[in-house]
Amino acid sequence: MVAKIIDGNAVARHVRQECKEQTQALKAQGVTPGLAVIIVGDNPASKVYVANKVKACTEVGLASTVYAFEADTPDTVVEAKIQALNADPAVHGILVQLPLPAHYDAKRVLACISVDKDVDGFHLYNVGALAQGETVFPPCTPYGVSKMLEYENIPVAGQNVVVVGASNIVGKPMAMMLMQRDATVAICHAKTRDLAQFTILADILVVAAGVPNLILPQMVRTGAVVIDVGINRLPNGKLVGDVDFEGVRQKASYISPVPGGVGPMTITMLVHNTVQAAKRSLAGAEAQLTESLA
Ligand code: NAP
């Protein structure tokens, strides 16, 4: 068996087209979805991510503004900016680019973002809502994985899913999202004993550990769906995921490549969440108007 490659760029294009159409419809009603991005310090990778987010917004027709602060900016200044953006009706989504400099309490900063504008889905309220199955904004990377499965019509309900990686931004929300779709989910992490004992049971294996070649063919069931979230730069400069792509490809039914797999989906789902936030704010404004006229 040779796996079908899930083309993340194609899925991203499809979702972005939907976002574009929804944005045009919103604009026709006088609302331009707006994203505010806060970046603190000069982490080169963060700068690239932010530039890519702005580019994606522009392509789809969203308004986006970047607020860049020096690394030594007091956290109170950044928090005050977030509060001002919370109150700004032209801003529908607020994103704080992580990581923040070490002297910041990232949790406290994220907690300042209005729940309705938390398009990254990292606010504690939104994390709790996801756990309760009342998702407000699904975190973008696992949401992207979920969309890729949907796009390929890969059934999730009743499937054995193994998520390798238990971070707050990928592994844990991924597990919760797929549990919501009625999968049976196991989460593995660095202290999991005998990882292969779990991965071999997976109908759907999602890997987000940040370890090149962590998943070898003998760890994967024949016919499994394998989604590789990992992004690793090898010493020779090559970008690879966490899965031995060429080896596992011979056994899996579907596999996502790196690059060109989950990567393009993450930013796309940020755009998607921002458009949803704008739609909700318009629906809220209309409901208020109806109430005041009643
Ligand atoms: P993270 O915060 O470092 O978490 C890594 C997780 O993997 C942790 O739960 C860790 O376990 C687990 N882990 C590490 N080594 C392991 C091993 N040998 N066996 C099993 N589990 C292991 O990383 P992250 O932010 O979740 O990101 C994970 C990877 O995805 C990275 O390569 C990152 O670059 C990539 N990523 C890609 C995108 C995208 O858009 N494609 C977005 C976000 C992240 P412990 O909890 O026990 O430490």
Same domain as 160, residue 101:
no
Same domain as 144, residue 108:
no
Cis peptide before 259 (omega within 30 of 0): yes
Q: Is 53 a catalytic residue?
A: yes
Same domain as 155, residue 43:
no
- Cα separation, 206 vs 249, in Å, equals 14
- Cα separation, 132 vs 211, in Å, equals 31
Burial of 217 from C-beta contacts in 10 A (0-12 / 13-18 / 19+): middle
Same domain as 159, residue 241:
yes
Look at residue 1 and tell me if it is in a domain. no
Side-chain half-sphere exposure of 244, counting CA atoms within 13 A: 12
Look at residue 6 and tell me if it is in a domain. no
Query: 161 has which bridge partners?
Result: 185, 204
| 63 CA from centroid of ligand 1 (Å) | 31
Cis peptide before 44 (omega within 30 of 0): no
- Pocket of ligand 1 contains residue 162 by CB under 6 Å: no
Q: Of these residues, 75, 116, 118, 120, which one is catalytic?
A: 120
Supply 99's token pair: 């990581």
| 99 CA from centroid of ligand 1 (Å) | 14
pLDDT recorded at residue 291: 74
Look at residue 7 and tell me if it is in a domain. no
Same domain as 103, residue 149:
no
Range(s) of the domain holding residue 239: 140-262
Same domain as 190, residue 94:
no
Q: Helix 8-28 and helix 44-60: axis angle, to 10°?
A: 60
| CATH number of the domain that residue 240 is part of | 3.40.50.720
Q: For residue 184, count other CB atoms closer than 10 A to its CB.
A: 14
Closest of 86, 32, 89, 96 to residue 64, by C-alpha = 32
Which residues, 6+ apart, have CB-to-CB distance to 115 below 8 Å? 123, 125, 126, 136
Residue bearing the CA closest to ligand 1, atom 48: 190
The total of structural domains in the chain comes to: 2
Question: Given the CA of residue 241, which atom of ligand 1 is nearest to it?
Answer: 32
- Pocket of ligand 1 contains residue 141 by CB under 6 Å: yes
Q: Is 27 a catalytic residue?
A: no
Look at residue 158 and tell me if it is in a domain. yes
Same domain as 243, residue 162:
yes
pLDDT recorded at residue 289: 67
Same domain as 87, residue 36:
yes
Residue bearing the CA closest to ligand 1, atom 24: 167
Look at residue 149 and tell me if it is in a domain. yes
Question: Given the CA of residue 265, which atom of ligand 1 is nearest to it?
Answer: 40
Supply 20's token pair: 């574009």
Q: Is 83 a catalytic residue?
A: no
pLDDT recorded at residue 286: 76
Same domain as 190, residue 91:
no
- Region of residue 223 (left: phi > 0; alpha: psi -120 to 50; beta: else): left
Is the sign of the CA dihedral 228, 209, 136, 98 positive or negative? Answer: negative
Contacts 24+ apart (CB under 8 A), 186-195: 186/160, 186/161, 186/162, 187/162, 187/163, 188/162, 188/163, 188/164, 189/164, 189/165, 195/164, 195/219
Look at residue 11 and tell me if it is in a domain. no
Each residue's pLDDT expressed in tens, for the chain with a length of 294 residues: 899 999 999 999 999 999 999 999 999 999 999 999 999 999 999 999 999 999 999 999 999 999 999 999 999 999 999 999 999 999 999 999 999 999 999 999 999 999 999 999 999 999 999 999 999 999 999 999 999 999 999 999 999 999 999 999 999 999 999 999 999 999 999 999 999 999 999 999 999 999 999 999 999 999 999 999 999 999 999 999 999 999 999 999 999 999 999 999 999 999 999 999 999 999 887 777 677 766
Same domain as 144, residue 89:
no
Query: Which of 114, 148, 181 is the C-terminal boundary of a domain?
Result: 114
| CATH number of the domain that residue 60 is part of | 3.40.50.10860
Look at residue 19 and tell me if it is in a domain. no
Look at residue 291 and tell me if it is in a domain. no
Same domain as 174, residue 251:
yes
- With the most atoms of ligand 1 within 8 angstroms of its CB, the residue from 170, 193, 214, 234 to mutate is 170
Same domain as 149, residue 105:
no
Query: 228 has which bridge partners?
Result: 207
| 240 CA from centroid of ligand 1 (Å) | 14
Burial of 90 from C-beta contacts in 10 A (0-12 / 13-18 / 19+): middle
